[in-house]
Amino acid sequence: MAQLVPSLFPVKLTHAATHLSEVLREANLPVVTPFGFHRFVWQLYTEPTEQKLYLRSALPSSSDTSRLRQSLKKAGLIGADPDYGNKVIRVMNVPDSPADDIACLADPTCYVSHLSAMQRWGLTDRHPEKLILSRPDRPTATKTLQAQMDIALKAGEEVPFPLRLVAHPAEVRQRPIMVLETKTAGASVRIRGNHVRVATIGQTFLDMVQKPDLCGGMTHIIDVWEEYARSYLEEIVAAVDTAHAAIPKSRAGYILEERLGLIHPTVESWKALGQRGGSRKLDPDKDFAPEFSETWMLSLNV
């Protein structure tokens, strides 16, 4: 991993730059966006400190933030991130983190999903090589970023360095990354103790019946549902019920009712969505099979 080479000539930091470096260290964020960096600078200017900082103005301008960023960079305290480049700031006096932590800090719109989320929730013993991330499509993600900037604006802050939708590299911290952009991005939660956002348990089960190929395949999925679906029935039903398409509800309904014998009034309502068609298969990646569920209008090709 790339590291900054210390300068042969020590850089004398201003009081403000020294204090900012401490603020960044205490925040314990291995990476920050330029937007996030400016928010720390704003905090520096607006929150009282015991130390005299000798600031040039009451509020920071974009040039103030750029000057402080350059000072910390020359001192080797921050630098470009080795994977995201100058679009993400690496805080050098904070220990680095795994790929999922870094990706979620670099991109506030993404979350860990599919087989990677299944691993996080302890639903699979498989160890996916790629870290699978989901995020909304570009228009929706842009609105999400704007909403986060609006919070700062409503608090009276200026936003000279807006949040941008980051382009994820092929690898983050030497781990391959797969990013899915979708109009139907689901619910996620932050994992306690780190900065990772992961699909909720219900959303993870919904992902299994929406994109089985990204969750270990339908045979593996059925094994997972047989072991864990009873424990998470309410979360599964609530999440699957949000699906816009009918086919995930039919697949989930078949597994819950016909394979597991679980009865639920919401699952019962999904039966009305069934319709005949050669494309309606339990496993979308396998050929049509003659065995058929009349209730769920599915070819049982697993």
CATH number at 56 reads 1.10.10
pLDDT of residue 2: 43
Boundary of a domain, candidates 96, 131, 153: 96
Query: Is residue 86 within 8 Å of residue 5, measured between CB atoms?
Result: no
Mean pLDDT across 130-134: 98
pLDDT of residue 95: 97
Longest CA pairwise span in the chain (Å): 79
Q: Which domain holds residue 20?
A: 15-96
Q: Look at residue 163 and tell me whether its pLDDT is greater than 70.
A: yes
Same-domain pairing of 103 and 189: yes
Q: Which amino acid is at 201?
A: I
Task: Specify the higher pLDDT residue, 1 or 192.
Answer: 192
Mean pLDDT across 11-29: 93
| Strand partners for 199 | 188
Q: How many domains does the chain have?
A: 3
Which residue's structure tokens are 């509020």? 59
CA distance 209 to 13: 55
Query: Is residue 254 within 8 Å of residue 296, measured between CB atoms?
Result: yes
Q: How far is CA 41 from CA 38, 45, 85, 160, 261, in A?
A: 5, 6, 21, 12, 58
pLDDT of residue 208: 98
Same-domain pairing of 237 and 280: yes
Boundary of a domain, candidates 199, 215, 250: 199
Q: Look at residue 145 and tell me whether its pLDDT is greater than 50.
A: yes
CA distance 154 to 151: 5
3-class secondary structure, 94: coil
Which phi and psi (to 5°) does residue 199 adopt? Answer: -55, 140
In a domain, 217, yes or no: no
Long-range (24+ apart) CB contacts under 8 A made by 161-167 are: 161/33, 161/34, 161/35, 161/37, 161/38, 161/62, 161/65, 162/35, 163/33, 163/35, 163/108, 164/87, 165/107, 165/109, 165/138, 165/141, 166/33, 166/84, 166/87, 166/88, 166/106, 166/107, 167/87
Same-domain pairing of 195 and 239: no
Q: Look at residue 32 and tell me whether its pLDDT is greater than 80.
A: yes
Same-domain pairing of 102 and 84: no
Lowest mean pLDDT among 46-50, 85-89, 142-146, 269-273: 46-50
In a domain, 105, yes or no: yes
Q: Give the rounded percent of residues in the chain with a pLDDT score beyond 70.
A: 96
> What pLDDT, in 10s, does the model give residues 243-297?
999 999 999 999 999 999 999 999 999 999 877 665 789 999 999 898 999 999 9
In a domain, 188, yes or no: yes
Same-domain pairing of 87 and 133: no
pLDDT of residue 3: 47
In a domain, 3, yes or no: no
Q: Give the rounded percent of residues in the chain with a pLDDT score beyond 90.
A: 85
Same-domain pairing of 291 and 301: yes
| Local confidence band at 132 (pLDDT 50, 70, 90 cut-offs) | very high
Same-domain pairing of 80 and 121: no
pLDDT of residue 219: 97
Sheet (strand 171-172) strand order: 171-172, 175-182, 131-136, 111-112, 197-199, 188-190
In a domain, 190, yes or no: yes
What is the bridge-based pairing of β-strands 175-182 and 131-136? parallel
Nearest to 68, CA basis, from 106, 27, 7, 21? 21
CA distance 269 to 166: 40
Boundary of a domain, candidates 32, 66, 96: 96
Same-domain pairing of 123 and 193: yes
Same-domain pairing of 26 and 88: yes
Q: Taking all residues of the chain, what is their mean pLDDT, rounded to a whole number?
A: 93
pLDDT of residue 278: 58
pLDDT of residue 8: 43
Task: Specify the higher pLDDT residue, 279 or 230.
Answer: 230
| Local confidence band at 10 (pLDDT 50, 70, 90 cut-offs) | low
3-class secondary structure, 112: strand
Query: Is residue 236 within 8 Å of residue 267, measured between CB atoms?
Result: no
In a domain, 20, yes or no: yes
Same-domain pairing of 85 and 119: no
In a domain, 158, yes or no: yes
Same-domain pairing of 80 and 30: yes
Same-domain pairing of 66 and 119: no
pLDDT of residue 9: 44
> What pLDDT, in 10s, does the model give residues 57-103?
999 999 999 999 999 999 999 999 999 999 999 999 999 999 999 99
In a domain, 206, yes or no: no
Separation of first and last alpha carbons in the chain: 44
Mean pLDDT across 152-156: 93
